C-alpha cells in the first residue's frame, strides 16, 4: 500500500473513531436530558434555527412562554422560575446542537471519502447506512418530543424506545466497522458458524432489554417498586390484575414493565454465564480476554441497576446504568467479533 493510500485509510479510521466518541457522548447527554426531564424545554423543532442559544432577555422570555403553554409546565412545573428553566433548556439545547454536529461531521467527510474512491466500497455503503440512520434519528427525535407537547406531561415511552434503539444501532454499526478496520478484516455480522445463534439470541434479548429500559425510563416505572430482589414483598408486581393474555402485553403498566426489565436482565445473565461455561470448557483461548471483559461489565451493570433502584433513582446512578448498558452491548459485539475471526 502506497503512503498516500495508507494516509487516507488512517484518516478514514480516525474519522470513524471520533464519530464513535461523538455518538457515545450523545447517548450520555440524551440520557441525562431525559433524567432531568429537559426534553420538552424547546417546544419547536428549529431544524434550521436555534443554532445559537438565547442571547438576550427577550429571547429567553419567548422560549419560556412557549414552554409555559405545554402540559408539563401547567401540571408539574407551574412554579418554575426563568433561571430554573434555563437549566433544563441548556440540556436540550446541547443535545440538539450535538446532533447537528454529528450529522455534519459524518456527512461531509463521507462524501469526501466516497468521491476519492479509495476506501473499500463495502465500508462506504455501511457508512451511508449509518448516515441514513443519523438523519432518521433527527426526525424520530422530534417525533418523540412532539408526543409530549399537547396532551401529555412527558414524551411517549414507545417513541423514546425507538429513539434510544436507533442510537444504540448507530454506535454498534460504527463499532463493528472500527473493529474490522483496526484488525484489517472484512468480517460480516451475519455468518454461519456453530455457535452464532447463541450470539443472535443474546443480541435479541439485549434489544428487548433496551426497549424495556426505555419504557421504564419513559414511564418513570422505577419509582413504583424500589426494592430488590423482591418487588416490595412479592416476586411478581402485586398491583396488576391479569385476566387475559392482552393484560400481559400492557406496556403502559408501570409495575409490569419494571418486572420485564428485571427478568430479561436475569435471562441475559444466565445466557452469558452459559456462554462463558462453553468458552472455557471448549478452551476457546482467543475468547478468554473478551469474555472476561464482558462479564466484568455485566456484573457492574447488575450492581448499577440494583443501586439505581434502591437509591430512589439517583441521577448519577441512573446515568451510569444507561451507559454501562451501552458498554455491555459493545463488549458483547467485541466478543462476537473475536468469535467470527
Do the beta carbons of residue 176 and residue 189 sit within 8 Å?
Answer: yes
pLDDT at 116: 86
Q: Rounded to the nearest 10 degrees, what angle do helices 315-340 and 288-310 cross at?
A: 160
Return the biggest CA–CA distance within the chain: 70
b/e per residue 40-77 (b: at least 16 CB within 10 A): bbbbebeeeebeeebeeeeebeebbeebeebebbeeeb
Confidence of residue 50 (pLDDT cuts 50, 70, 90): confident
pLDDT at 229: 92
The pLDDT of residue 1 is above 70: no
pLDDT at 337: 96
pLDDT mean over 71-86: 95
Q: Is 188 helix (H, G, I), strand (E, B) or coil?
A: coil
141-153 per-position pLDDT tens digit: 999 999 999 988 8
Q: Is 29 helix (H, G, I), strand (E, B) or coil?
A: helix
Do the beta carbons of residue 72 and residue 114 sit within 8 Å?
Answer: no
55, containing H or E segment? none
Q: For residue 229, is the peptide bond before it cis, meaning its omega torsion is within 30 degrees of 0?
A: yes
Confidence of residue 100 (pLDDT cuts 50, 70, 90): very high
Q: How far is CA 165 from CA 15, 81, 189, 208, 311, in A?
A: 23, 34, 18, 10, 26
The residues, ordered by sequence, that sit 6+ positions from 297 with a Cβ below 8 Å of its Cβ are: 324, 327, 328, 331
167-195 per-position pLDDT tens digit: 999 999 999 999 999 999 999 998 887 88
Q: How far is CA 118 from CA 9, 19, 115, 177, 185, in A?
A: 8, 20, 8, 16, 16
Confidence of residue 227 (pLDDT cuts 50, 70, 90): very high
pTM: 0.94
Q: What value does the mean pLDDT of the chain take? A: 94
pLDDT at 118: 86
Dihedral-angle region of residue 87 (phi above 0 means left; psi in -120 to 50 means alpha; beta otherwise): alpha
Quick count: other Cβ atoms within 10 Å of Cβ 229?
Answer: 8
pLDDT at 147: 95
Confidence of residue 5 (pLDDT cuts 50, 70, 90): confident
pLDDT at 8: 84
The pLDDT of residue 4 is above 80: no
Burial of residue 117 (number of CB atoms within 10 Å: 0-12, 13-18, 19+): exposed
Do the beta carbons of residue 321 and residue 305 sit within 8 Å?
Answer: yes
Q: Cell numbers at residue 175, please?
A: 463499532
Q: How far apart are CA 100 and CA 144, in angstroms?
A: 17
Q: How far apart are CA 303 and CA 306, in angstroms?
A: 5
Radius of gyration for the chain, computed over Cα atoms and rounded to the nearest angstrom: 22
pLDDT at 289: 97
**Over pLDDT 90: what percentage of the chain?**
82
Amino acid at each position: 500500500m502506497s503512503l498516500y493510500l495508507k494516509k487516507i485509510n488512517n484518516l478514514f479510521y480516525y474519522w470513524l473513531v471520533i464519530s464513535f466518541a461523538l455518538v457515545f457522548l450523545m447517548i450520555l447527554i440524551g440520557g441525562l436530558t431525559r433524567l432531568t426531564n429537559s426534553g420538552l424545554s424547546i417546544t419547536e423543532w428549529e431544524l434550521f434555527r436555534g443554532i445559537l442559544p438565547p442571547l438576550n432577555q427577550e429571547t429567553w422570555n419567548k422560549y419560556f412562554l412557549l414552554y409555559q403553554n405545554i402540559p408539563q409546565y401547567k401540571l408539574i412545573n407551574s412554579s418554575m422560575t426563568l433561571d430554573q428553566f434555563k437549566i433544563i433548556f441548556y440540556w436540550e439545547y446541547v443535545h440538539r446542537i450535538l446532533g447537528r454536529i454529528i450529522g455534519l461531521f459524518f456527512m461531509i467527510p463521507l462524501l469526501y471519502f466516497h468521491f476519492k474512491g479509495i476506501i473499500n466500497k463495502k465500508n462506504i455503503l455501511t457508512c451511508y447506512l449509518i448516515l441514513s440512520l443519523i438523519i432518521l434519528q433527527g426526525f424520530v427525535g422530534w417525533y418523540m418530543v412532539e408526543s409530549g407537547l399537547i396532551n401529555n406531561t412527558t414524551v411517549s415511552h414507545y417513541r423514546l424506545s425507538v429513539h434510544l434503539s436507533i442510537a444504540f444501532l448507530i454506535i454498534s454499526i460504527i463499532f463493528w466497522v472500527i473493529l474490522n478496520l483496526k484488525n484489517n478484516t472484512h468480517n460480516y455480522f451475519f455468518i454461519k458458524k456453530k455457535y452464532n445463534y447463541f450470539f443472535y439470541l443474546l443480541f435479541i434479548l439485549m434489544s428487548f432489554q433496551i426497549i424495556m429500559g426505555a419504557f421504564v425510563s419513559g414511564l418513570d416505572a422505577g419509582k413504583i417498586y424500589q426494592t430488590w430482589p423482591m418487588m416490595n414483598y412479592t416476586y411478581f408486581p402485586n398491583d396488576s390484575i391479569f385476566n387475559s393474555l392482552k393484560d400481559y402485553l400492557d406496556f403502559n403498566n408501570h409495575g409490569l414493565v419494571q418486572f420485564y426489565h428485571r427478568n430479561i436482565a436475569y435471562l441475559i445473565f444466565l445466557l452469558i454465564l452459559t456462554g462463558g461455561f462453553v468458552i472455557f470448557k471448549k478452551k476457546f483461548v482467543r475468547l478468554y480476554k473478551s469474555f472476561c471483559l464482558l462479564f466484568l461489565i455485566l456484573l457492574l451493570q447488575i450492581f448499577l441497576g440494583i443501586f439505581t433502584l434502591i437509591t430512589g433513582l439517583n441521577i448519577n446512578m441512573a446515568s451510569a446504568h444507561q451507559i454501562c448498558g451501552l458498554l455491555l452491548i459493545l463488549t458483547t459485539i467485541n466478543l462476537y467479533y473475536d468469535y467470527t475471526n
